[in-house]
């Protein structure tokens, strides 16, 4: 199978991302990881830029021996000699010479005529050819260059010793069909081009870098250039992990192989992100945290039945741990049941219906629902196993500095359907709430303890309230969780009271899990709350 060469320029073009500069040790660490990833060429830097850059490249050449080490140079003797000096210790070296060929670059930036540019390109490549194992030539801004002039330049550099011809879309201007057409044109109109490897180097100004790279491969490119996480000048370069996985996943379109150990992609992405400080967006293809996460119920159901319904790649292929079914307001019952089973809970359809409804209410209030949230809902539901006499219809609590906490509560009495409403003041909002509940339901219970704990962290964390009430020497427990701690407090209290009432009515003890003997050491009662 034909092999596509993977040219990684994270340490050169990637490092041109604002704020992404790496020191010598960091560059070496990335180079080692790129070696483990299996790239064919590491473009390690631009030696003429600074003595530190030159030293970093020299160290990479000494220590990273499998891949070819390339360095970039402008078309002038100073840059090319620095490049030669930098890579002379490499196991296999490449000098990458570039000269701009578009009218706008030649006229305004280089201030040179096309003939002068052609001459510079030829002489530079000739000089470089004597200083490294191989020379790559890039016609900067090729996609805005005159194609016939481009072919003349390529013929000149091929005869001067270049063996890799790069056709960069420097400013991310091309569309996929145009870029492919340019490759076909160059192949058809440049004599000697068949001896060279054609290379694609795309920028992402219009978000087309990966698409353009793949189009170039279809049109004959046999080297792809890019960076990890797509970092690079301006909007960045083609993301190598995306290019490589497109080639691997769509073998029907791209019957090629690469030397990439794809299982190393995620780890490489994390390292580059950590060292450059450039965060990977969660929805980033291949290496983003959500790349294999499914939130919508229909998708989750499909995934559970057959993962290929919604996944074209396995997360393990790219080194991501596993697919995730994220619980949230778009989740369906299949996914909730599945997660519960993974957490060790077998639930009946009726139980699932209740837990699902509570989960949806929670998801409306909370950005993400965690396993701990789900467990809290299940535990709360499991303890609500007696008929409820008092049902909470409504509550309102007013409290603040310098005011008397006041609560209004409306309960429905299950046996008669009657609605009862009362208000009360208290030492604190919870106290006021509990007094209002007691009045509305004509309830007599001694509050033994009140405990509030956060189930998860963050501003939208669920608070879980556990309440113990005592009557006739027996202690009854109620527990409820909600993002609103007052709501959790009201529901937990009513749950304990409902159990107590049930125990009295039935003339028997409430279910074992639902009460404790009075002798159980209980936490101290809440004060004021």
Ligand X SMILES: CC(C)C(=O)C(=O)O
Ligand Y SMILES: CC(=O)SCCNC(=O)CCNC(=O)[C@H](O)C(C)(C)COP(=O)(O)OP(=O)(O)OC[C@H]1O[C@@H](n2cnc3c(N)ncnc32)[C@H](O)[C@@H]1OP(=O)(O)O
Residues making contact with ligand Y (CB under 6 A): 13, 16, 46, 48-49, 74-76, 98-100, 109-110, 140, 170, 233
Smallest separation, CB 182 to ligand Y (Å):
17
237 belongs to an annotated ligand binding site? yes
Please state, as a whole number, how many other Cβ atoms lie within 10 Å of the Cβ of residue 145.
24
Q: How far apart are CA 507 and CA 488, in angstroms?
A: 28
At closest approach, how far in Å is the CB of 13 from ligand X? 5
Q: What angle do CA 366, 348, 481 make, to 5 degrees?
A: 30
Closer to ligand Y by CB, 50 or 177: give it: 50
Q: Which does 93 bind (CB under 5 to 8 A by kind): ligand Y, ligand X, none?
A: none
Write out the binding residues for ligand X, residues 39-98 only, by CB under 6 A: 72, 98
CB hemisphere CA count around 354 (13 angstroms): 13
Per rule CB under 6 A, is residue 201 in the interface with ligand X? yes
Based on the shown chain and the rule CB under 6 A, indicate whether residue 8 belongs to the binding site for ligand X.
no
Are 445 and 472 within 8 A, CB to CB?
no
Q: Please choose which of ligand Y, ligand X, none residue 166 contacts, taking the beta carbon within 5 to 8 angstroms, the exact cut-off set by kind.
A: ligand X
Residue 44 binding target from ligand X, ligand Y, none, CB below 5 to 8 Å by type: none
- DSSP letters spanning 372-430: HHHHHHHHHHHH--S--SEEEEEEEEE--TTS--EEEEEEEETTT--EEEEEEE-SSHH
Q: Which does 138 bind (CB under 5 to 8 A by kind): ligand X, ligand Y, none?
A: ligand X
Residue 17 contact among ligand Y, ligand X, none, beta carbon within 5 to 8 Å by kind: none
In the complex, what is the shortest distance from the CB of residue 140 to ligand X, in angstroms, rounded to a whole number?
Answer: 4
Length of the chain: 529
- Pairing state between β 223-226 and 197-202: parallel
- Of 96-125, binders to ligand X (CB under 6 A) are 98
Q: How many Å apart are CA 29 and CA 60, to the nearest integer? A: 9
| CB 140, min distance to ligand Y, A | 5
Which tokens is 43 given?
């473009």
Q: Which is nearer to ligand Y, 123 or 233 (CB)?
A: 233
Shortest reach from residue 171's CB to ligand X, in Å: 8
The residue among 145 and 483 lying less far from ligand Y, judged by its C-beta, is 145
Q: Report the residue number, 55 or 461, with the smaller CB distance to ligand Y.
A: 55
Q: Does 203 belong to an annotated binding site?
A: yes
- Please answer whether residues 204 and 192 qualify as being in contact, where contact means their C-beta atoms are separated by less than 8 angstroms: no
Residue 56 touches which of ligand Y, ligand X, none (CB < 5 to 8 A by kind)?
none
The nearest distance, CB 380 to ligand X, in angstroms, is 58
In whole angstroms, the minimum distance from the beta carbon of 481 to ligand Y comes to: 55
E-strand stretches of 203-311: 223-226, 256-257, 293-294
Question: Quick one: which of 33, 124, 166, 268 contacts ligand X (CB under 6 A)?
Answer: 166
Say if CB 47 and CB 86 are below 8 A apart: yes
Nearest CB to ligand Y, comparing residues 73 and 480? 73
**Partner touching 201 among ligand Y, ligand X, none, CB below 5 to 8 Å by kind:** ligand X
Rule CB under 6 A: say whether 138 interacts with ligand X.
yes
Give buried/exposed letters for 95-112 (b at 16+ CB in 10 A, else e): bbbbbbbbeebbeeebeb
Q: Which is nearer to ligand X, 124 or 138 (CB)?
A: 138
Give every CB contact of residue 470 below 8 A, 6+ residues apart in sequence. Answer: 445, 446, 448, 476, 518
DSSP 458-471: STTPPEEEEEEEEE
Q: Please list, in sequence order, all residues whose beta carbon lies within 8 angstroms of the beta carbon of residue 43, skipping any fewer than 6 positions away.
A: 7, 8, 9, 11, 12, 13, 70, 71, 72, 96, 225
The Cα–Cα gap between 202 and 209 comes to 5
Q: Rounded to the nearest whole angstrom, what is the least distance from the CB of residue 87 to ligand Y in the complex?
A: 16
From 8, 13, 79, 431, residue interacting with ligand X (rule: CB under 6 A): 13
Number of residues that bind ligand X (CB under 6 A): 10
Q: Which strands make up the sheet holding 474-482, listed edge to edge? A: 446-454, 463-471, 474-482, 515-517
**Per-residue interface string for the shown chain with ligand X, residues 404-443, x marking contact by CB under 6 A:** ----------------------------------------
Instruction: Output the smallest distance, CB 372 to ligand X, in A.
Output: 48
Cβ atoms 53, 82 nearer than 8 A: no
Q: At 502, is the secondary structure helix, strand, or coil?
A: helix
Q: List the binding residues.
A: 13, 201, 203, 237
Q: List the binding residues for Mn(2+).
A: 13, 201, 203, 237
Binding site for ligand X (CB under 6 A): 13, 72, 98, 138, 140, 166, 168, 170, 201, 203
């Amino acid at each position: 199978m034909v092999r596509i060469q993977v040219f990684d320029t994270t340490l050169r073009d990637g490092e041109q991302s604002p704020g992404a500069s790496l020191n010598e040790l960091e560059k070496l660490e990335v180079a080692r990881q790129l070696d483990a990833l299996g790239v064919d060429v590491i473009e390690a830097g631009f030696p003429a830029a600074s003595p530190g850059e030159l030293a970093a490249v020299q160290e990479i050449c000494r220590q990273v021996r499998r891949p070819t080490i390339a360095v970039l140079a402008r078309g002038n003797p100073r840059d090319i000699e620095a490049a030669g000096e930098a890579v002379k210790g490499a196991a296999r070296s490449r000098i990458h010479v570039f000269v701009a060929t578009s009218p706008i670059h030649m006229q305004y930036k280089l201030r040179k005529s096309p003939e002068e540019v052609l001459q510079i390109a030829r002489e530079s490549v000739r000089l470089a050819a004597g200083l490294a194992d191989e020379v790559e030539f890039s016609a900067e801004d090729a996609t805005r260059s005159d194609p016939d002039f481009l072919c003349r330049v390529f013929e000149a550099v091929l005869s001067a010793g270049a063996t890799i011809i790069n056709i960069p879309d420097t400013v991310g201007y091309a569309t996929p069909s145009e870029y492919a057409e340019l490759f076909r044109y160059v192949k058809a109109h440049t004599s000697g081009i068949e001896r060279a490897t054609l290379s694609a180097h795309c920028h992402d100004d219009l978000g087309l870098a990966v698409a353009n790279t793949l189009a170039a491969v279809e049109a004959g490119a046999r080297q792809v250039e890019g960076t990890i996480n797509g970092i690079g000048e301006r909007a960045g370069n083609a993301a190598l992990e995306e290019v490589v996985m497109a080639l691997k996943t769509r073998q029907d379109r791209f019957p090629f192989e690469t030397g990439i150990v794809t299982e190393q992609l995620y780890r490489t992405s994390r390292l580059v992100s950590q060292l450059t400080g450039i965060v990977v967006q969660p929805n980033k293809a291949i290496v983003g945290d959500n790349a294999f996460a499914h939130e919508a119920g229909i998708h989750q159901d499909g995934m559970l039945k057959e993962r290929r319904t919604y996944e074209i790649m396995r997360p393990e292929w790219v080194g991501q741990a596993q697919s995730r079914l994220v619980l949230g307001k778009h989740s369906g019952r299949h996914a909730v049941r599945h997660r519960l089973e993974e957490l060790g809970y077998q639930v009946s359809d009726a139980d699932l219906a209740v837990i699902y409804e509570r989960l949806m209410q929670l998801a409306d209030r909370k950005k993400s629902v965690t396993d701990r949230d789900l467990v809290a809902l299940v535990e709360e539901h499991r303890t609500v196993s007696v008929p409820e006499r008092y049902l909470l219809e409504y509550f309102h609590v007013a409290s603040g500095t310098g005011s008397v906490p006041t609560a209004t509560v409306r309960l429905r009495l299950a046996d008669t359907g009657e609605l009862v409403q009362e208000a009360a003041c208290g030492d604190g909002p919870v106290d006021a709430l509990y007094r209002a509940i007691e009045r509305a339901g004509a309830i007599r219970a001694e509050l033994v303890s009140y405990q509030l704990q956060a189930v998860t962290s963050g501003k939208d964390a669920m608070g879980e309230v556990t309440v113990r009430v005592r009557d006739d020497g027996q202690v009854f427990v109620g527990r409820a969780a909600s993002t609103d701690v007052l709501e959790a407090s009201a529901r937990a209290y009513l749950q304990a009271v409902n159990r107590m009432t049930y125990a009295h009515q039935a003339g028997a003890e409430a279910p074992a899990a639902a009460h404790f003997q009075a002798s159980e050491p209980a936490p101290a009662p809440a004060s004021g709350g």
